[in-house]
Structure 1
Amino acid sequence: MHTGRPRDGGTLRVVGSSDVEHLDPASAESVGARGLDRTFARTLFGTVASNVFAETIPVRPDVAERLPTRANGDVGADGLTYTVRLRGDVLWDTAPPRPVTAADFVRAFKRLCNPAAPSAGTGYFTSTLRGMDDYCRGYARLGAGGIGAATSGSSAADARAAATLAAYQNGHDIEGVRAAGDRTLVFRLTRPASDFLSLLTLEYTAAAPREYDRYLPDGPLFRQHTVSDGPYRISEYRPDTSYLLTRNPAWRAGSDPLRERHVDRVRITLGQDSAEAVQQQLETGTADLAWDQPVPTSALPRLRSGHDPRFAVREAPSTSPYVVFNLRSPNNRHALADRNVRRALAYAVDRSALVKIVGGPAVARPLHTAIPPGTTGYAPADPFPTPGDSGDPATCRRLLASAGYPGGLTLRFPYRVNSVHRLIAESLRENLAACGVRTVLSPDTGEDFYGRTISDPARGAAGAWDVAAPGWTPDWYGSNGRAVLLPLLSGRALGPGSTNYGGYDDPRVDALIDQALTAPSEARAAEAWRRADRTATEDAAILPLLDRSHTIFASSRVRNALFLPTSAGYDYTRVYLAQ
């Protein structure tokens, strides 16, 4: 889609369903939030957008001047010290503009474990950086004192909470993250980590300006006062309704090796749950890109047979969706805490039907491991085989009775209203009904589903839900074993905002994760990840369902549409528009 000289100007029109669960880069997790954050929040390192998957994997400098290596002296001989040197011409969109400094990155790490909107990625860093775990434990005590529960009740209460949080951050240091002047960062690791630079590509670690100390992390005022060091800034935000991104006048093309800037504005319009309605707008040219909707399954045969150049299937290895069980739920006499019950339910699932729902074998493959293909530690396995991947309700019934539930269960099942998630939930409901399990479906927005419903341990413990079908795209590709198992299945990642939604906690799995993180070679690490995956999936901690590629469509006027697998979308900063 890249022809001739890029044309600047115009408005890129993006349409979709739900707002992000978190706008604050420190706690942003969804693929939509990643794509949005890329426009205004820069990290030390990053990756390029490309329609060739292999080209999107290598880590490249962003705000950093160069990649640290042993050869250039920026990585210590013991592999425990990383020195990162910053570009001097990256500026905040402030009045007047001022440079992004090493202190802004230190602030980013200090904000990760704030108790108001804690980052799902904190576990990556508490297991890697010296002093990070102790720092976060101290920060958590503020939450125990009521900060997390009392926030967003009023602007005055939020302001008081923000001041308390900022006082902790500014009064405590992390041993392993230090600014050595304005343009040098020094990281000290607890153990060598071959994927450390990949961790520094994550949006959680984006520089945070001092203005953020004024606001409750990810609170209503924060969302109206983001500060940009990227090519665009959020000029208007209407919660659950729209975003307007406009050019950041402080951004300089020469200081940004990963992004460009061609369109004048990016307008994101929310509240459109129908994938078919979104697709119609893209095809008729009243919109340009989908925000959070893949191409509807009903349109795929027509687009394939017509060889429509606006349509593509992009590679993005993922565990999407998977079934997560709420192990905290008191419903059904705490049935889901019993691995025998979960193992019985594993036989109910008809993955072949799910493949059809999302577009057939060209789009998705049945998946039985938490780690998807293309990810470190993947090895084919199927602990609960069924004929043709179509389910085995008789075995499900028999095992459920053996576990003490001959009369079945009643499960609460929230589902996202956008895309094909309702159809997936309905298919799973039919599967479970065939083995005597009643499922009560409840619609939920993508924002609430991830931001409140399944990520709040208190709601889980109250039995607000029993099963759900989220999806997981690895936070990075390449050497990325921990990008799946650590956030989804580690017992050390539990707490508010955790992506270990069901509360699974098994010392065997955590011990294998430790082995992988400390392994002397990539091969040894991959074997430990594989064993951890096998242990958790044989426990039916989650039920992986599909490894799914991303179907995507762009309007006729979109040019230079380049894919970012980790955000499951095209890079807004690279797109330009035809006349």
Structure 2
Amino acid sequence: MPRDGGTLRVVGSSDVEHLDTASAESVGARGLDRTFARTLFGTVASNTFAETVPVHPDVAERLPTRANGGISADGLTYTVRLRGDAMWDTRPPRPVTAPDFVRGFKRLCNPATPSPGRSYFTSTLRGMDAYCRGYARVGARGIGAATSGSAGADARTAAALAAYQNAHDIEGVRAADDRTLVFRLTRRASDFLNLLTLGYTAAAPREYDSYVPDGPAFRQHTVSDGPYRIAEYRPGTSYLLTRNPAWRAGTDPLRERHVDRIQITLGQDSPEAVQQQLETGAADLAWDQPVPTPALARLRSGHDPRFAVREAPSTSPYLVFNLRSPNNGHALADRDVRRALARAVDRSALVKVVGGPAVADPLHTVIPPGTTGYAPADPFPTPGDSGDPATCRRLLASAGYPGGLTLRFPYRVNSVHKLIAESLERNFAACGVRTVLTPDTGGDFYGRTLADPGRGAAGEWDIAAPGWTPDWYGSNGRSVLLPLLSGRSLGPGSTNYGGYRNPRVDALIDQALTAPDESRSADLWRRADQVVTQDAAILPLLDRKYTIFTSSRVRNALFLPTAAGDDYTRIYLAR
């Protein structure tokens, strides 16, 4: 029997780039958001990958189907009935309603921190694109003032944003009553229920109208409808989660609640130091650090029961080229330059960096295995996947850069990212290319460094090595190419970090989204992948599994692939 009580101690490196569910995108944020924010549908945590794929109801009463009347005959209208017993942690507690979910969708396009997932919905829901374009014009001056630290400006901006949301509707998202949502689609979408599992679509209480989305004040005033609530948040330092008194186990089909508190301590950049705390029992789980590579052989050979390798197909890491950068005479905007650099990379060395073939495989396609549209290919082969610096030099010279390039390369400081950056630095040096490595110590690698088009256009970076875990598994063709490489998703907060735009790719994405069946859709995603890999828009590097280690007192550790970690809500502690 599970034992309730105690404090789950989680340690790691960097804070989340966004805490607000509307804009949270990192795997760490997904794991945290699951504790306090609920969506209409979701997936279960399991150590068997196939069990994590199906969609299940969360706040919704049931899955809508044509048979039960939840999906119209033409596939363009979805009606979702809500449970009546999901409650906000307010005083007094009140039910989570359909208008709360409508508010959540409206917040996706706020101009303060626009959601990286908004393109999923602007391409699917009626009126969403027009609503977002209108919202983008609201409050620009107020937002700039608010970020300067003025509480008054912050309040005025929040009011302006809320005023737009409350005065404008999205045609395709409507609350028929407090417990009924009606979605109207622009075209059939076989993955629409998958989209409704995404944290971006979490319900948002009316209290959020008082704060700039994801601003400092918002982060101190999150409201929970999950099993835990954020009782204390110290930016960049720690979180303390405590029990949400309004939550009841029988109201939540996906989560449980066993520990009394979850203490997350940040600022520990050394994977070795984190691992030592886990092995000695000073901490229970790693927040954002995999098991250090040197420890893997020992743990595997000793069959340590605290150690596990979990499956979560991903493009992690990949090399993104900043096509906006003016550096080197805008060299990275030249496809021939990017294709030359692709020949330099030694993926075999990167496999060793992260732990060997049991942990990772070389990846040459943007779409990873286990994702709709995947087909093995290698457009830039090198002997043994170990790179070909001579060919890189020759192709760079042919492209007009016989003297090489100098590339600015920020890297994450947690996990093995520094080692990955140093390995790539050596690869490019052999090709005559100098890289200037800069540790990104601000804890906002994605939200600040990469997702700001202005920084890219100013040449503050040339290459980077982010990672991408699909937002869902199953029918998930659009969960990779659309967010990473669609030219229609460009702008602040976009995950198309390098600014790639190719009308042919966007046309193939459109065709895949409207394909009559899964087979045809998969073929179109594969063709789009061929175009972007031939363009070397980004350079896939590895498909990685996740190495997990828990303290000896952790029980019922169940994996969430999209969060690349265990579900905190299911864990209990040994006596």
> Aligned pair 1:108/2:104, yes or no?
yes
Matches within 5 A, 1:287-436: 287-436=283-432
Q: For residues 446 and 28 of structure 1, do their structure 2 counterparts lie closer, same or farther at Cα, with a shift above 3 Å needed? A: farther
User: Partner amino acid for 1:367?
Assistant: L
1:495 counterpart SS class: coil
CA distance in 2 between counterparts of 1:191 and 1:244 reads 43
> Aligned pair 1:38/2:34, yes or no?
yes
CA distance in 2 between counterparts of 1:474 and 1:158 reads 34
Query: Cα deviations across residues 310-353 of structure 1 (Å, max 9, x unaligned)?
Result: 00000000000000000000000000000010000000000000
1:104 counterpart SS class: helix
Judge conservation of contact 1:152–1:220 (CA < 8 Å) in 2: no
Q: For residues 381 and 148 of structure 1, do their structure 2 counterparts lie closer, same or farther at Cα, with a shift above 3 Å needed? A: farther
1:187 to 183, 187, 190: 183
Q: Greater CA deviation, 446-455 or 182-191?
A: 446-455
User: Partner amino acid for 2:554?
Assistant: V
Matches within 5 A, 1:119-130: 119-130=115-126
1:241 to 237, 240, 244: 237
1:76 to 66, 72, 77: 72
User: Partner amino acid for 1:497?
Assistant: G
Following superposition, the deviation at residue 159 of structure 1 comes to 1.0
Judge conservation of contact 1:20–1:446 (CA < 8 Å) in 2: no
Following superposition, the deviation at residue 157 of structure 1 comes to 1.2
CA distance in 1 between counterparts of 2:39 and 2:146 reads 28
Judge conservation of contact 1:504–1:541 (CA < 8 Å) in 2: yes
Which residue number in structure 2 is paired with residue 65 of structure 1? 61
2:138 counterpart SS class: helix
Which residue number in structure 2 is paired with residue 196 of structure 1? 192
Judge conservation of contact 1:418–1:446 (CA < 8 Å) in 2: no
> Aligned pair 1:486/2:482, yes or no?
yes
> Aligned pair 1:211/2:207, yes or no?
yes
Q: How many residues align?
A: 574
CA distance in 2 between counterparts of 1:17 and 1:245 reads 18
2:547 counterpart SS class: strand
Judge conservation of contact 2:311–2:545 (CA < 8 Å) in 1: yes
Query: Cα deviations across residues 165-187 of structure 1 (Å, max 9, x unaligned)?
Result: 00000000000000011000000
The TM-score with structure 1 as length reference comes to 0.99
CA distance in 2 between counterparts of 1:182 and 1:336 reads 51
Following superposition, the deviation at residue 141 of structure 1 comes to 1.2
1:176 to 162, 172, 177: 172
Following superposition, the deviation at residue 451 of structure 1 comes to 1.3
User: Partner amino acid for 1:149?
Assistant: G
CA distance in 1 between counterparts of 2:143 and 2:398 reads 42
Which residue number in structure 2 is paired with residue 151 of structure 1? 146
Judge conservation of contact 1:23–1:218 (CA < 8 Å) in 2: yes
1:186 counterpart SS class: strand
> Aligned pair 1:542/2:538, yes or no?
yes
Query: Cα deviations across residues 199-255 of structure 1 (Å, max 9, x unaligned)?
Result: 000000000000000000000000000000000000000000000000000001111
CA distance in 2 between counterparts of 1:398 and 1:146 reads 49
CA-atom RMSD in angstroms: 0.7
Judge conservation of contact 2:79–2:182 (CA < 8 Å) in 1: yes
1:136 counterpart SS class: helix
Which residue number in structure 1 is paired with residue 46 of structure 2? 50
Following superposition, the deviation at residue 152 of structure 1 comes to 2.1
Q: Greater CA deviation, 307-316 or 441-450?
A: 441-450
Which residue number in structure 2 is paired with residue 16 of structure 1? 12
1:180 counterpart SS class: strand
Following superposition, the deviation at residue 448 of structure 1 comes to 1.8
Percent identical pairs in the alignment equals: 85
Following superposition, the deviation at residue 147 of structure 1 comes to 4.3
Following superposition, the deviation at residue 195 of structure 1 comes to 0.2
User: Partner amino acid for 1:156?
Assistant: G
1:267 counterpart SS class: strand
Q: Which 5+ residue runs of structure 2 have no aligned equivalent?
A: none
The TM-score with structure 2 as length reference comes to 0.99
CA distance in 2 between counterparts of 1:197 and 1:149 reads 36
Query: Cα deviations across residues 347-367 of structure 1 (Å, max 9, x unaligned)?
Result: 000000000000000000000
1:552 to 541, 548, 554: 548
Matches within 5 A, 1:557-576: 557-576=553-572
User: Partner amino acid for 2:223?
Assistant: V
1:220 to 216, 226, 231: 216
CA distance in 2 between counterparts of 1:528 and 1:55 reads 27
Following superposition, the deviation at residue 148 of structure 1 comes to 4.5
Q: Which 5+ residue runs of structure 1 have no aligned equivalent?
A: none
User: Partner amino acid for 1:79?
Assistant: G
Which residue number in structure 2 is paired with residue 254 of structure 1? 250
Query: Cα deviations across residues 509-554 of structure 1 (Å, max 9, x unaligned)?
Result: 0000001000000000000100111100100000000000000101
Matches within 5 A, 1:83-98: 83-98=79-94
Following superposition, the deviation at residue 146 of structure 1 comes to 2.8
Q: Greater CA deviation, 453-462 or 134-143?
A: 134-143
1:142 counterpart SS class: coil
